[in-house]
Structure 1
Amino acid sequence: MSSGTDWVARVNGTPISRFDLDNAMQGYAMQEYRQTLDQLDAERRQEAETFALEKLIARELIFQQALAEGFVADEAALAAELKKIVDNFPSVEEFEGTLKKAGLDLADYQRMLRQDVTVNQMSERKVANLPEPTDEEIESFYRANTDRLVRRGRVRASHLLVKIDDEGREKALQVAVDLKGKATSENFAELARRHSACPSAPGGGDLGYFRKGDMVRSFEDAAFSLPVGAISEPVETQFGFHLIHVIDREDDVPLTLEEAREQIVGFLRQQAGSECLKAWVENLRSKANIELA
């Protein structure tokens, strides 16, 4: 793609901006890898760009179809969605200040939000009348996926964080290595209280129980690979270097059919909806004029 233009694609003449693509890529990086876009390697960045652009093209196709059918999100839905977003900020002024830094005013943002809400509502309408999964489909899925249908195990761990400051990465790593040499199961909590830069330090670094997906990937990979009582080598994340002490572990527990039924129904509904929307968007795309920069 050319970098000499502020648009990356056109859908039936409507441009998709580089700004929108960068935002969508950032969202993908956080969702898939729990990293910022700048932290991704070249391969993952390309993956993020491909996925995000396809998503934006699909969104524009659905929005254009909604307009063609005379459907636009109502004011009540738009106001409710805007309120949820604004409520995440300390004040309306703080929210508007954030928009300004991004080069947007409130009217710009409302136009973008209206498109998002319209696309979501249009998609929901498209899948609203799909048939419910049958008992046979539910039981078949259960038999084929018993190894995946589990109450996920969890780990209880404490950690000691050494932040990377003005003295640099190597200095922080050396501090973490030195502390690792002193750490035992018996003294770990005290070391964390004295040396950790995490807010959990007063509690001995105790993070409580967590499951896979709750923590930064490199942190949880280390925590779930350690036996109870073990202390990790320094693990690097965007926060700095961590020493991780595993306090307890609970293994996965298989679910019965009845325990798993609601989860299976939800998955099958989502799968049917995704397939329906994919086929619909592919049909819209086959009739559209799409240009890439």
Structure 2
Amino acid sequence: MLGIKRMWHQRIIFSTWWLWIVLLWPFPSSAKVVDRVVAVVNDQVITLSELDQAAAPYYQKFLSRSIDPTEREALLERIRHQVLQQLIDEELTREEAKRLGIKVTPAEIESAMENMARENGLTLSEFQERLKAQGIDPQEYRQRLADQLLRLKLVNVQVKGRIVVTDEEIKEYWKKHYVSGHKRFFLQQIGFLVRNPSEEKKKMAKAQAALKELEKGVPFAEVARRYSELPTAKDGGDLGYFDLKDLSPEVREVVKTLTPGEYSGIIKGPGIIQIIRLKALDEEVKKPLSAVKDEIRRKLYQEKVDQRFKQWLKELRSQSYIEVLL
């Protein structure tokens, strides 16, 4: 707090001195301010020229097309404000890295430049010429790379060690993005036909006897062969695969609640009393989990790193003196 007060005291002295200069010095009427401070970050400043230099690629991308002057000015301000926030974060990152003794060497920066050139299918000199053609100073680009490398090193120190991606998270992501959602149900059945109302009591008793056998742990296929009156009895009650839409309403509602290996209670329907077991559940899969597990882990890990880094930056901002003068 004392440092902030001293800073403001210095500003008051500076402002007073500058006011006397303005009053006494005969400036030409056409004089222009060529640069000014747009943000203060602790004891460092960010100037308008630095901001415009960092924002130049965005100006070129978004302001090169013909647009209304009013809209152009509004877009220019939005770009400046967004890029300024990035510059503030980079300054905070540099200061924290300095405090922790984290550095980026010239060799690391040069290696990163060469990698960028290689990824674009260019030699280093060709890559630098392309940067110049786009209005980007290669040295400024090197500084941007240095800031990115510094951030990566900070992430390793402050963030990565605290992040874990579980197998359950990977499986949930896979289900959401690699499974189509189309399900097919392999069903087994123990059934009793009710041809007229007088048979219902007798058939219900048989169904209850079969259910008791299942509750004792007797395999479903064995109970089906012994009790079921349907043609599927000889196959252990196997009915095959069905979509939900192909099932009768009373069976559909029960099957939706079953997990593979579970069987239902007694289900009464028109002309039939039955017990249903869900033997297997198949879902249409774009790629098997084993084929994409590592890819998903990396993606989820990076998402967590980015999220944690943003939170860390937010905490760092709350502990820093930041003033935006744009």
What TM-score do the two structures reach when normalised by structure 2? 0.44
- Rg: which structure is higher? 2
Structure with higher helix content: 2
What TM-score do the two structures reach when normalised by structure 1? 0.48
